[in-house]
Amino acid sequence: MPHPGSRTRTTDLWLLPEDEALLGQRIGNALPTGWLCSQPGPVGLHRVHLHATVAEAFDCGGVQVFLPLPAGAAAPDGVEVAGGVVTDPGLRGAAIVQLLRSHVRGGVFGCGRLAVRWSEPDVGPELHRLLGEQVAEVWRALRAATRPAALRDATGRELSGTRIGAAARELVVRTGIPLSRNGGPHRHLAR
């Protein structure tokens, strides 16, 4: 259960790399962005970078990338800032948006996720308001770059609240590959 004042938002989604790039571009059109790569292994084993694009961050780190908020916040200590990223050294990150990559394994298309969390008491009312506005921009970009993914399970029951990119949808329609949320039952697009 979240602690009092915790603000969380999450959406499961299916994206291919071209969909990720479009989402990153849409977010970048709304907010100054820099994406942190997520290196495998223990903290400190590999250098973490703040990249200009989602694609660069995924190429560097693999399965997930992070967008520090408020937009333009300075990179955390020890993070190397790549060319093309502009940050405000006096602005510290208070929240972080996670973009977890979708994956195809064993003939099933597993979902990724766009998620954010912060604690209102930790940031104060003014920063809380700003974070809320910027998170709304991120989800507006998500809606612009994807479409709803209405899913149907084996019994015909529909599940909504998820999103799918155009390239991912084309793959699913063309191949009939089933979709999975967090390792759960396999589902198919309802429409």
Q: What local confidence, expressed as pLDDT, does residue 84 receive?
A: 87
The pLDDT, as a whole number, for residue 1 is: 41
Amino acid residing at 132: G
Q: Which helix (H) or strand (E) segment is 108 a member of? A: strand 108-110
Residue type, 142: L
Q: What is the C-alpha to C-alpha distance for residues 108 and 182, in angstroms, rounded to an integer?
A: 11
Looking at residue 102, the DSSP 8-state letter turns out to be P
SS3 label, residue 88:
strand
pTM score of the predicted model: 0.92
Task: Tell me if 87 sits within 8 A of 101, measured CB to CB.
Answer: no
Closest CA to 141 of 16, 21, 49: 21
Q: Please list the ranges in the chain whose pLDDT falls under 50.
A: 1
What pLDDT score was predicted for residue 184? Answer: 82
Q: Please state, in angstroms and rounded to a whole number, the distance separating the CA atoms of residues 35 and 97.
A: 9
What's the length of the chain?
A: 191
